[in-house]
Structure formats: C-alpha cells, structure tokens
Amino acid sequence: MTITKPPQLSFSAASSPLCSLKGSLLTVAVLTFLSLFYLSLNSLRTPPPSPIVLESTIHVPQTKDEDYSDVYHSPDSFRLNYAEMERKLKIYIYPDGDPNTFFQTPRKVTGKYASEGYFFKNIRESHFRTLDPEEADLFFVPVSPHKMRGNGTSYEEMTVIVRDYVDGLIAKYPYWNRTLGADHFFVTCHDVGVRAFEGSPVMIKNTIRVVCSPSYNVGFIPHKDVALPQVLQPFALPAGGNDVENRTTLGFWAGHRNSKIRVILARVWENDTELDISNNRINRATGHLVYQKRFYRTKFCICPGGSQVNSARITDSIHYGCVPVILSDYYDLPFSDILDWRKFAVVLRERDVYDLKQILKNITQSEFVSLHNNLVKVQKHFQWNTPPVKFDAFHMIMYELWLRHHVIKY
C-alpha cells in the first residue's frame, strides 16, 4: 500500500522579504541607539550652546533729540514707560466750581508760583484729559489756593472753602469712594496751598499731593506725593549751556536771609574772594538784569532753602547753565525717582555749608564739565510751555502721576 505524503509547503520563498524587513528595522534601531549614546557621551564633554536672546517686540521710535543718557536712573525703563504713558493715561477734571472764583482756572501763569498756573492751563490743552470719568485713570480736584491768596482770603476761610468743595464732590460722584481718594490729586505751588487742604484730612492722607514744597519731615510722602518744580517764568534771559569757558566765578548766591541756612551762608562766606555771596538781593539800580547775568559767569550756584525747602533759584540755575548746589535738608527734589540729581547737581547737607568752598574746589574741571553737560540735557524737564511739549515740566508731572496710578487697586 502506498502511503501518500501530504504536500509540503515551502516557506522559503515567501518568508524571504519578511526576514529582510525585520533585519533592516533591527539594523536601524541599533544604529539609532548607538548614535544617541554617542551624542549623550559627547554632551558631557562639551559646554551647552549659548541661549538665543530674543529682542523685545516692543518698538518705541526714538528721535535724534531724545537723549536717554545716564542722567536717568533707568533710561530704558523711562523711555518705554513714558511712551506707554503718552498712549494710555487719562485724567478727568471735576467740572464743579465757578471759574470766576477759586476753581478750574489759574490765577496767573507768571511769577514764582507759575507752575500751578501752567498745570491748570496745560491739563486742558493736553490729550491726557478725558470728558468720560469712566475711562479715567486719575481725577483732578481743580481748586486753586493761589487764587484764594490773591483774593485776600484768610487761611481759615481757605480751609472751609476747600473742605466744603471736596465734601461736595464726594457726595455727588461715586469715584472717590472706589479708592477713598487714592486716585485723586490736587496741585498747588504756594505753601499756603498745603495748609488750605488741612481742613480736609482725607485730602492730605489719601490723595496725591502735587506741591512745590515737598518737605518729607512735615508730612510729604515721596512714594505717594509728587514734587512740583518751582519755576519762575518767563525767564528773563535765554538758556545757558555749553559755555564752560565763560564760567570763571566759583560760586554765587544773592537773596533774602529768610531761613537759618541762608543766615549762616551769608555770615560765613559774604566776604570771601572766590565765592560771590551777597547778603541781600542785588539792587536793580546796579544795572539791567545783573542778577540773572551772574548765573552765566558762575560754575556753581548756591541754592539754600528759604521759608520752605524749595526755591525757584534751583530752576533758574538749571535754565542758565549754572550747576545748582542744593543746601536744603528734607527736600524731596523734583523728579528724583526719574533723574539722578548727582549727575547734574551738587547735593549737600545744610551742615556742609561751613566747608562749602573746599567742597566746590575739590570738584575737578572734568567733573564740572560733566555736570554742566548733563545739566543742559535736563533743562527741557524744568520748563513750562503752552501748549505743553514732549518731556517738558508738565509731561514729567504726568509721568510721575502715571507711575503712582499703577499702585492703586479698585
């Protein structure tokens, strides 16, 4: 009997491609593993590549006349924040109050207290003003103690007028109660203005006070309040600067002895041959604009505090290109959180008055030239214009307010 074998299937031909594919995949896997292993070992022997630094996507155009030099504490921050402030800041002016009395409009825009008048005028000329209180970042309380003083209003009457006006705003509008007045501010240059608001304690405690007499030993709070530069405008003569070769007098001061530091300054130095110190104001009979012309000839102009810590002599010195020497304790200098005053001024303590001449003589010519050149760069910040122009005193005050509004939470 013949046994028939079942047919044998041959897999050799069919499995050949499959084996070839498996071998290829195995080979690729082995090579990949070896490559990764080699790279890992190599990374241990070589330092990591330098990180790629991406440039900021914020672009702020900068014109040739904008010099963001080291007179600023942080030039880049100032440039970027200032541009943002120009785009976004909005101020609402309360419309209440008769402009013919003590509200809305300034007394004048000349004289020692012109800064108050210019602000009242500039805020209405600027694009920062909004007529919609709902979009406002800050609220301006437009009462002018300087107008009250010009009208002969007594101090007691001022406090009542201010108190009643502020109480009326609080009762009429909802905006004060959102922050208890922390996003409100008032502006006054005469020192009587600060006293006029004492009848409304919430204005002193809560609001931003923009004042010319920022003495932080009598209630001024630097991180809340703003130092307003006292500017005597219009200036009698053009701005000085880039004229160091003409400045042959070491130091100059002339004025009333209406403070202790001024009395000491005059007593110690009025007979000195290198310091031009006058015991009183220069008599106009001696010649036309003699006082102002001395600023042009002097390296360092002495600026002692008077009845208050501030003095218009500081901005006079800056305008005429004479390096100011600050002799006033407790003075929170204008824009001091933006500008580095030691780059364009000499800031001393009042007790340094006895060593004044030696301190000034120890400043080398190259150091003086640097101070003078930096002084020219900041002149634009201490001048008022109408309408206001970029970087002038008005815009610097706006920037100070912009910085402070960021800490206010609704």
pTM: 0.80
Over residues 269-315, the pLDDT tens digits come to 999 999 999 877 676 556 678 889 999 999 999 999 877 777 889 99
Mutual orientation of helices 290-297 and 312-320 as an angle, nearest 10°? 60
Q: Residue 372 corresponds to which tokens in the numbers above?
A: 């003078």
Q: Contact, 323 vs 317, CB < 8 A?
A: yes
Question: What is the C-alpha R_g of the chain?
Answer: 34
Whole-angstrom distance, CA of residue 168 vs CA of residue 96: 9
Give the other-Cβ count within 10 Å of 299's Cβ.
Answer: 22
Tokens of 298: 């002097």
Q: In this structure, are residues 208 and 188 in contact, taking their beta carbons and an 8 Å threshold?
A: no
Q: What is the pLDDT of residues 80-112, one digit of tens each?
A: 999 999 999 999 999 998 877 777 777 777 788
What CA–CA distance (Å, rounded) separates 387 from 373? Answer: 27
| H-run or E-run covering 299 | strand 298-304
Question: Residue with structure tokens 């943002």?
Answer: 84
324: phi then psi, degrees, rounded to nearest 5: -75, 140
User: Which run of H or E residues covers position 266?
Assistant: helix 260-269
Separation CA 115–CA 407 (nearest Å): 26
3-state secondary structure of 65: coil
Band (215; pLDDT cuts 50, 70, 90): confident
Show the domains of the chain with their CATH numbers: 75-232+387-405 (no CATH), 249-382 (3.40.50.2000)
Tell me if 195 sits within 8 A of 155, measured CB to CB: yes
Q: What are phi and psi of 368, to 5 degrees?
A: -65, -45
For tokens 């330092």, name the residue: 47
Average confidence score pLDDT of the chain? 82
Q: Averaged over 181-206, what is the pLDDT?
A: 85
CA 221 to chain centre: 15
Is 323 in a helix, a strand, or coil? strand
Largest CA distance in the chain: 157
- pLDDT tens across 304-357, in order? 987 777 788 999 999 999 999 999 888 889 999 999 999 999 999 999 999 999
For residue 303, list its beta bridge partners: 326
Distance separating alpha carbons of residues 267 and 277, to the nearest angstrom: 9
